[in-house]
Amino acid sequence: MAEILNVTPDLNLRVPGPTPLPPEVRAALAQPMIGHRSAAFRELHREVTRGVAEVLRTANDTLILTASGTGGMEAAIANTLAPGDVVLSVSIGNFGQRFRAIAEAYGAKIITLDYPWGAAAEPDDVAAALSTRGDVKAVLVTHNETSTGVTNPLEAIAHAVKSTRPDPPLLIVDAVSSAACVPLETDAWGLDVVVTGSQKGWMIPPGLAFVAVSPAAWAALSADTPRFYFDFKAARRSLVADQTPWTPAVNLFYGLVAALRLIRRTGIEERWRQHARVAAHVRSRVGEMGLELVADPRFASDTVSAVRAPADLDVDNFRRRLLDEHGVLVAGGQGPLRGAIFRVGHMGYLVEDEIDAALDAIARTLG
């Protein structure tokens, strides 16, 4: 099988998504297929919807879409924004740019708030940008910027957005690489639309996007943006019957049940603590190697570390050697950081020995 699929045996997968799968999840994924309109699937759908909402800390409707994270982001935009709507797009890196590009594709008028790659957004700047514009319908923000390894101070940003005016703009959050790994309080922080993707923090393969939709977001749905597959109203009509409108990726739901049971065993706070502990360890090993992070250290991510390569390092060749000689796969840089950094993922299913093995291999390969 491994040969047919050309899968590297014992790959130490340290990219920021897809991430490794726990044995319980792999076993669940291999179960026989069932009909997606069966009572068994409805039961599965009920359990995972409840579990995902629990992890996102929300009582809001939580939709499970068969799509990658970007599909969830597009769904958020297509349902909340109409052409001509004014949007404040806060970007600290590649994924902030992607969210903006989606809004642009749907005809939004964009006000930009950009930061140098490696920095986090300043809540005061968000408040200032909103104070001069009463017509902003929504704010787009990335919780954890995977291209730079920076986690935005989302709670403070949410506070800035929600205290601007009596009917504040919607806050739409890309939580693709943060949810299930770092503290994220959808309801307590007042987040209106939270989007995440299965292959990052959730310990299952790519293919599902989760979107939590607040009552304010439901009330603000745009009527005149064309959409069909990703129509939230269709998803909600099905949700009340424990269904999805279209055929879902059924076996990913099996995997998700197994992953959510693992999360429930320790509780989500313990997973947040584990990610913080492992990330601190990764950062300290990177420091011992004499290397620096891209991130402002105050906002360094607990799910991915973006490491500046030594000036004379050929990053592509380094990554190839890590893979060929040690079976470790790390990511390169994106956009302007291509060739200048490498990124080590530590999100989802964390086996601390494997992370140490990857760090040892990095240290040895750097010489």
Ligand X SMILES: *Cc1c(COP(=O)(O)O)cnc(C)c1O
Question: Nearer to ligand X by C-beta: 16 or 123?
Answer: 16
Q: Shortest Cβ distance from residue 338 to ligand X (Å)?
A: 16
Q: Which residue is nearest to ligand X (CB)?
A: 69
**83 contacts 227 by C-beta, under 8 angstroms:** no
Question: Nearer to ligand X by C-beta: 94 or 164?
Answer: 94
Q: Shortest Cβ distance from residue 134 to ligand X (Å)?
A: 29
Amino acid 339 reads G
- Residues paired with residue 221 on neighbouring β-strands, in sequence order: none
Q: Shortest Cβ distance from residue 298 to ligand X (Å)?
A: 19
Q: Shortest Cβ distance from residue 275 to ligand X (Å)?
A: 15
Q: Shortest Cβ distance from residue 309 to ligand X (Å)?
A: 21
Of 326, 328, 330, 277, residue with least CA distance to 307? 330
Q: Shortest Cβ distance from residue 71 to ligand X (Å)?
A: 7
What are φ and ψ of residue 85, in 5° steps?
A: -65, 145
Question: Nearer to ligand X by C-beta: 176 or 313?
Answer: 176
Question: Nearer to ligand X by C-beta: 82 or 110?
Answer: 110
Long-range contacts of 33-38 (CB under 8 A, 24+ apart): 33/250, 33/251, 34/250, 36/243, 36/244, 36/247, 36/248, 36/250, 37/243
Question: Nearer to ligand X by C-beta: 152 or 164?
Answer: 152
Residues that bind ligand X (CB under 6 A): 17, 68-70, 95, 142, 144, 146, 174, 176-177, 197, 200, 206
CB burial of 224-243 (b: ≥16 within 10 Å; e: otherwise) equals ebebeebbbebbeebbeeeb
Question: Nearer to ligand X by C-beta: 81 or 361?
Answer: 81
CB burial of 190-218 (b: ≥16 within 10 Å; e: otherwise) equals bbbbbbbbbbbbbbbbbbbbbbbbbebbb
